[in-house]
Amino acid sequence: MTTITIVTGLILLSAPAAAPAPRRVEISVTEKGFEPNSILVKKDEPLKLVVTRKTEATCAKKLVLDEAKVSVDLPMNKPVEIDFTPTKSGPVKYGCQMGKMISGVLLVE
């Protein structure tokens, strides 16, 4: 929406406010699982999850994030970007395709 303001005969146009850039969250898949395992985020905060699998010794070759309806392959040593904005408070679990046996959690405030 464009706002028009008239000030003593002048017309000023202002552009709509730009959406905030998403917060970049780096996540690695290692022999220990998803690292970090627990990440504190805010409700309605746009996120860009950047997930890099760094080991073959894991079943987490795919990431499943049900709340975002996401299921993506995690190729070895290649960052995968996932855009997600949590819309409610509480824990949001993500994990491997095998029932999230290997998992992490976004703690949404």
Q: Could you read off the pLDDT of 9-65 as tens digits, one per residue?
A: 555 555 667 777 999 999 999 999 999 999 999 999 999 999 999 999 999 999 999
Classified as helix, coil or strand, 68 is: helix
Look at residue 35 in the predicted model and tell me its pLDDT.
98
The pLDDT value given to residue 16: 67
Contacts of 47 (CB under 8 A, 6+ apart): 22, 23, 25, 41, 83, 84, 85, 86, 106
Fold designation for 19-108: Immunoglobulin-like (2.60.40)
pLDDT at position 106 over 80: yes
In this prediction, residue 64 carries a pLDDT of 97
Taking a C-beta distance cutoff of 8 angstroms, is the pair 54, 60 a contact?
A: no
Give the pTM.
0.81
For the chain, what are the domain ranges?
A: 19-108
